[in-house]
Amino acid sequence: MTQDNFISGVPWRNSRDLKTLVENRTTYTLDNCELNIFETHQEAADVNLVFGDLVLTTMLKGKKVMHLFDKPGFDYLPGESVIVPPNEMMKIDFPEAKWDNPTQCIALSISKEIIENTFNMLNEKFSEKVLTQEWGLDLSYFHLINTQDLSEIINRFIKIGVKERSREKDLIASLALKELMIRLSQTQAREMLEKTYKELASGNRLAHVVDYVKKNIRENLTLEELAGQACMSKAHFLRTFKLELGQTPMDFVLKERLKLARQYLLIGGFQIQEVSVMSGFNNITYFIRVFKSEYGCTPKVFQKQ
């Protein structure tokens, strides 16, 4: 989990304002959406929650166990988001919530109209999709690790809902919702590729590039080389990759190298110089700098921890 993927906290309710210790709710109503902030200050189980619109929930603090779609529960932690379709019952446990260790999350319910309008616009304007046939949300990938871009727009939306006081508040929120839809779609695309790139590699150009990067991560990969693997011009490849996945190809290569370096450090037994080379970095100073930027500490400190 990178340092940039967590959502900024929101103020806790004053204890005198709490109506309940389990899922105490504060609501901010905007055009096309409703921002809800939930706080829980004691252990609880089988708490039911349902919305009439599609909901993006994001954990801020603490831990939940979420049960969805009649499947086994899963741990739900800060740095993660869950997309819940309309009228789907969420069954939630709070195994660790206490007065001095509360749980806090947001639930942003989004109108069907703004979702359809946003994806219709994207399908008209950017119709030449490579990874999937059209823009939209795929509820097969409902539990997401927040990307930096997704975290940034969620942070911005919290600020709009909680602090914005201008007459343009609803317009600002509507514009932010459109960006949120794009970031959610891109985050899902990256999640899907991570899980399916091997089986898709023979028939999908972006999946093939991802597979190629992972197999050649120690090589000196260039944008020109990756564009050639996708059978696209450099400009077209760069534009397509960034639009559909929300990051540039070379940013993707860097993230893959950092993930690999982290795995080697967790295994242990390697010198920092060895980890740098095995992960595809040919400059240890650069490796240390980007690792610290991504994970908040140097490789050596991470290894000791």
Tokens of 62: 């603490």
The pLDDT score that the predictor gives to residue 268 is 84
Superfamily of domain 249-304: Homeodomain-like (1.10.10.60)
pLDDT in tens, the chain (305 residues): 454 555 566 666 666 666 788 888 999 998 899 999 999 999 999 999 999 999 999 999 999 999 999 899 999 999 999 999 999 999 999 999 998 888 999 999 999 999 999 999 999 999 888 988 899 999 889 999 998 889 999 999 888 888 888 888 989 999 999 999 999 999 999 999 999 999 999 999 999 999 999 999 999 999 999 999 999 999 999 999 999 999 999 999 999 999 999 999 999 889 999 999 999 998 999 999 999 999 899 999 998 88
Within 8 A by CB and 6+ apart from 298, the residues are 288, 291, 292
Tell me, what amino acid is at 284?
I
pLDDT tens digits along 204-258: 999 999 999 999 999 999 999 999 999 999 999 999 999 999 999 999 999 999 9
Domain topology for 1-195: Jelly Rolls (2.60.120)
Q: Indicate the domain borders of the chain.
A: 1-195, 249-304
Q: Where are the alpha helices (DSSP H) in the chain?
A: 112-125, 148-163, 169-200, 205-215, 223-229, 234-245, 249-267, 272-278, 284-295, 299-304
Query: If you average pLDDT over every residue of the chain, what do you get?
Result: 91
pLDDT tens digits along 251-285: 999 999 999 999 999 998 899 999 999 999 989 99
The pLDDT score that the predictor gives to residue 17 is 66
